[in-house]
Amino acid sequence: MPSTWNNRNLHLSIFGESHGGGIGVVLDGIPGGTKIHLPTLRAFMERRAPGRTSTSTKRKEADLPEILSGALPGGDEDTLIACGTPIAAVIRNTDTHSKDYSQMAALARPGHGDYTGHLRYNGFNDVRGGGHFSARLTAPLVFAGGICKQYLSQRGVEVGAHVLSIGGIGDKPFDPVRVCAADFEAAAARQMPVLDQAAGQRIAEAVEQARLNQDSLGGVVEAAAVGMPAGIGDPMFGGIENVVSSIAFGIPAVKGLSFGEGFGFGEMSGSLANDPFYMDGGEVKTETNHAGGILGGITSGMPIVIQAAFKPTPSISRPQKTIDYINKTDAILEIKGRHDPCVVPRAVPCVEAALAIALASFLA
């Protein structure tokens, strides 16, 4: 079931195509009684929505979810209370320009899923706007993640993220020991979601330059969770890393994930890499947090810190060599549609959503 995800008591199923009637999600397993504050949920989804900044696609979608089931009015017009049964939501597509994709019925966008999708679905997949391969499908993921974030917050766990780098230009990383909810709020409040505003300015300029060059840039999102109780997770195949990976790789264009020091561990010695334990009053803590809050697949009680690497947006407007996969000929493709010159700023809430869904599945 490629568009269905499960861990423990939490189940998620995402449906739709970019230029079809709509997209949506069924989220099952959110405990009854969980409060859903609608303005907070909408503000979270707004951070992913297209057409809001110069670094994103010009496609403009209201992206307002219609909640069909699983939640009842919660006393005021801004609040719903989860019933504990499946929460279903649909988001209508409105701003579709399908004719931009007419030549893609046969010409494969290099770096995109057009050719492999054609093979996988025997030529019957909806190619308009990337169909089910479109990053538009991250809207329902972010809806589900927004509900999981609120559930986690009610359990004392906060999740946030920022752009760690784009095109090699870096933001200040999270402090893996002291990262806190105020860092998450600071990044979320910025149009370019970074911790260091000056770095954000340089990053925005680089993205604009890539757009003017008819090119695109990749980058890295860093996400963290604070307040996660110690002792949650499993060794082997049910670890926090396994479960986070299984959902985070569902975000299109994610090509690498790392936890804590990640690939940096390969260049460290044990005496530097090990996080010394100490007692802080009655609480077990570590002085450093290279482990990113996970040991043996199980939470240590320190902040969970992950990084997700995104490739540059495949759809760039300069002419590219490709093939016509129906007529089996070489061809040149010039993409006319509206695309993100860099997916990373809009991907920040997607990574937050993936981390929140994964962690919520261990607590729900």
State the residues that interact with ligand FMN by CB under 6 A: 57, 112-113, 130, 133-135, 138, 251-253, 311, 313-315, 339-340, 343, 346-347, 350
Q: How far is the CB of 155 from ligand FMN (least distance, A)?
A: 27
User: In terms of CB distance, is 165 or 286 closer to ligand FMN?
Assistant: 165
**Residue 32: phi, psi to the nearest 5?**
-55, 140
Start-end of H helices in the chain: 38-46, 114-120, 138-154, 181-188, 197-212, 240-248, 270-273, 344-363
User: In terms of CB distance, is 24 or 218 closer to ligand FMN?
Assistant: 218
Q: CA-to-CA distance for 265 and 314, rounded, in angstroms?
A: 30
Q: How far is the CB of 272 from ligand FMN (least distance, A)?
A: 34
Q: How far is the CB of 255 from ligand FMN (least distance, A)?
A: 7
User: In terms of CB distance, is 162 or 346 closer to ligand FMN?
Assistant: 346
User: In terms of CB distance, is 80 or 344 closer to ligand FMN?
Assistant: 344
- CA-to-CA separations, 261 to 117, 243, 267, 277, 294, in angstroms, rounded: 35, 18, 10, 17, 11
User: In terms of CB distance, is 253 or 294 closer to ligand FMN?
Assistant: 253
Q: How far is the CB of 98 from ligand FMN (least distance, A)?
A: 15
Q: How far is the CB of 308 from ligand FMN (least distance, A)?
A: 10
Which among 72, 88, 68 has a CA at the least distance from the CA of 36? 72
Q: How far is the CB of 279 from ligand FMN (least distance, A)?
A: 42
User: In terms of CB distance, is 340 or 352 closer to ligand FMN?
Assistant: 340
Q: CB-based contacts of 146: which residues, under 8 Å, 6+ apart?
A: 40, 41, 44, 45, 353, 356
User: In terms of CB distance, is 169 or 333 closer to ligand FMN?
Assistant: 333
Q: How far is the CB of 70 from ligand FMN (least distance, A)?
A: 26
- Contact in structure between 146 and 40 (CB atoms under 8 Å): yes
**Residue 23: phi, psi to the nearest 5?**
-130, 165
| Residue 263, burial from CB neighbour count under 10 angstroms (0-12, 13-18, 19+) | exposed
Four-point Cα dihedral 325, 328, 332, 336, nearest 10:
-30
Q: CA-to-CA distance for 262 and 331, rounded, in angstroms?
A: 40
- In sequence order, what are the beta bridge partners of 223? 161, 306
